[in-house]
Structure 1
């Protein structure tokens, strides 16, 4: 059951938010990034403090960028007041898998992120990170966005730095040592852990021992290992076992990112994956996962063919059959055939008058982005109901999958309110304290004195995603206000002028 009556008293809270924003800005607009946010109190809201505990009515007082009290205290002289009656106040959402690495430089407003209630994004996923972690974080601090930013150090990035184009083989010991030095430098510069993308071309050639050695380096810096595992289809069980082994051998917390069963042949086997993880956790291996609330994934065309024989008709046919045919593959980027962007592979092949296999082979050497509609809802539900699975988007600014603009409201609106998969407090925990603890962000993820004032105020009765596969950047509804480091970044249905985000490190 969802532990909340959903009152619809929204107009007073909305009006007070506008008044507060005007008062804080002093000029009928949003708070400039350089201006102190002052002191303010949210009263009357139901607090979801991030721990998973029950909602409770309390006032939250903020001074500068920090929460100073949570309870019944009345506002003090000079405090601005936000009326939160009928709304839920939660810690800002932390997206542990976000593809805004480059996008934040050009879109510092990040509307698709803050409109969801996201206040911190973790970039550098899937093994691909900025090559110079220190320089990247310095750039984000020099030109801040609306959101805080942390980054992983990417396995594929350091592998390319060491091996160049000669990566289609197992690395030599001296090369692994050089990669380890780069991981060490990245962690010292502020990375939160090591990411890998073992299903992608560069990472796929790495031996497990290579990953263990690099993960050991991250472990010495108290980092986490987050992996797009080697296979999310027919060989998923072996891939899960490998990730567990890397975590166990390296002595590092390990996370299976965007956990899924992505082909028809493994539908219904979530219980087997859960059993593998539960057995590892029972013997003391620190293994967790994250998931997005959609039945479709986004990647490049080549991931469909595990044996990398992209021009072999038999291999391509087997790959397409494994995902239920070309009707389940939708193009998001197709430069040579822009008329088919948004269309299915089956539609493009029919329009060209050739088979699906032949069209795949024709475009195999192009840069082709796809969405695979190849997952089953019972598996998604089974994963989301595990206490060790957190929420993450695998999206980001300017993303062509609806998860980039809709993940967190979709969980709260569809999975919590409509389908009852999770209680509201548990869903909030999966978005806040759980990822904060996983990443070592000790001052984020909870509503408690001394924590940073990253906060989201939302209407639990109306919060919902609006992004679709046809219109993936439509903004959600129901999020009333978002604060980052004590400064409002989302109000009145739009981004403010403030850019208070920070570059975060351990």
Structure 2
């Protein structure tokens, strides 16, 4: 009897203990609670003081709820809490494998990157996403299908012509397969060599394939210089004909002859939007672009002195062209074309022709600030970096803090809440990321806590990977990835699909 009584008491005690633990877990789960921050919810509405509670990877409350016993508490007083920034033009396609910490990305508050831009993407989208799941990084990653990628897959080295109808059909099938594997849309780089030979009809056909899966079309348009207006019109036409949301990526006016014409570009886009065409844009906050040397000569006559002279005149001369990659002359990396030519005892034209067949990376310092300001103040222009890990342009490490520090705080181009909208809910909505881009109950806990009075970029053209200041903490899917000025050991980034 004594043994039976003791056993009964033990069973009751065990049941009470189990019930107590379960009850506590259900009512007061251990959580991350960020208290007292000024919350920018991502929609553009005014900041408000609130406590944000996160359980696992999800936001479970936003309001006045106090932390509970056992919660991890982060004091957000005096700081701004925003959704993690979503970079819709990012060149970390390969970099996330070699540098999964991605310090230059998370240090500026980026929590999701969209790769595969400018027409260049992984050939096998499914395999790429599987690899990112198997070896996650600090950030979430999504991808586009690249037009130039599928064009090369179908046409091989014979791409310097208009594609035949059967080839377009095969390209469209590859786009369809990529979308089924999880891509978010189609990218193009119509100014670059492979894409430049494509007829508009070809791109429309591929965009239609992406549209069947509710994708987006994001384009490095056919020209960002003297014929930029025609290129903008083509992008609008592709979106309209294919029935797909279209985006002009890194919108700019990149040569002296079109400086001051941002208003004309805005008028073209707004006229299209007024008649129902879903067209938007993104922009990076710098007056210099990064590409390859050949992009300077639209007619592709890279060794014709007259063509080269016209190209250099368009950008204000070789003093505005800076080398980022020049394998045959490594001593000139970081130098201007004018400096290299002088050192070699050549004219700028002759030095250009000498290196025309090399793989040469450049930065073009050829944009005007009033045009950039005009673009950034349009509600349909979002923030994007055109950077990525290990990038040799300062935008790779500084884009988002630069907007918040220089364009919001110092120059007052934008309100803080509007700038954050351009970095969060706007790109999330564009891509169809329903569970990200906002601070709201049920959304994924991609969050950035920063000091609005201190945040700013520190990267320069001489030190392009210098990290910004002012970002205190970053969480991806509820896990801390940036804290106390350093990347943590967590690698919670996910491969995202539509």
Change (3 A) 1:70 1:313: same
Check the 8 A contact 1:38/1:64 in 2, yes or no: no
Aligned equivalents of 1:259 and 1:240: distance in 2? 9
| Superposed CA offset, 1:27-53 (max 9, x none) | xxxxxxxxxx95111010000000000
2:59 counterpart of 1:59:
no
- Correspondence for 1:378: 370
Give TM-score scaled by structure 2 length. 0.94
> Whose radius of gyration is greater, 1 or 2?
2
Aligned equivalents of 2:133 and 2:366: distance in 1? 39
Please list every run of 5 or more consecutive structure 2 residues that lacks an aligned counterpart in the other structure.
Answer: 1-28
Aligned equivalents of 1:177 and 1:79: distance in 2? 56
Check the 8 A contact 1:328/1:372 in 2, yes or no: yes
- Correspondence for 1:133: 125
RMSD: 0.7
Check the 8 A contact 1:443/1:452 in 2, yes or no: yes
- Correspondence for 1:222: 214
2:313 counterpart of 1:321:
yes
Q: CA deviation at 1:74?
A: 1.2
Check the 8 A contact 1:484/1:500 in 2, yes or no: yes
Check the 8 A contact 1:256/1:288 in 2, yes or no: yes
Q: CA deviation at 1:152?
A: 0.3
Task: Provide the secondary structure at the position in 1 that maps to 2:67.
Answer: coil
Aligned equivalents of 1:210 and 1:198: distance in 2? 12
Q: What pairs with 1:220-369 in structure 2 (closer than 5 Å)?
A: 220-369=212-361
Q: Among residues 385, 399, 409, which one is paired with 1:407 in the alignment?
A: 399
- Correspondence for 1:183: 175
Task: Provide the secondary structure at the position in 2 that maps to 1:358.
Answer: helix
2:89 counterpart of 1:117:
no
2:419 counterpart of 1:427:
yes
Q: CA deviation at 1:76?
A: 2.4
Check the 8 A contact 1:49/1:448 in 2, yes or no: yes
2:148 counterpart of 1:156:
yes
Give TM-score scaled by structure 1 length. 0.93
- Correspondence for 2:191: 199
Aligned equivalents of 1:40 and 1:262: distance in 2? 46
Aligned equivalents of 2:208 and 2:32: distance in 1? 44
Please list every run of 5 or more consecutive structure 1 residues that lacks an aligned counterpart in the other structure.
Answer: 1-36
Aligned equivalents of 1:67 and 1:132: distance in 2? 34
Aligned equivalents of 1:41 and 1:317: distance in 2? 60
Q: CA deviation at 1:80?
A: 1.1
- Correspondence for 1:460: 452
Task: Provide the secondary structure at the position in 2 that maps to 1:42.
Answer: strand
- Correspondence for 1:497: 489
Task: Provide the secondary structure at the position in 1 that maps to 2:117.
Answer: coil
Q: CA deviation at 1:85?
A: 0.2
- Correspondence for 1:471: 463
Runs of 4+ in 1 over 4 A off after TM superposition: none
Aligned equivalents of 1:173 and 1:148: distance in 2? 37
Q: Among residues 406, 425, 434, which one is paired with 1:442 in the alignment?
A: 434
Check the 8 A contact 1:443/1:450 in 2, yes or no: yes
- Correspondence for 1:26: none
Aligned equivalents of 1:459 and 1:344: distance in 2? 36
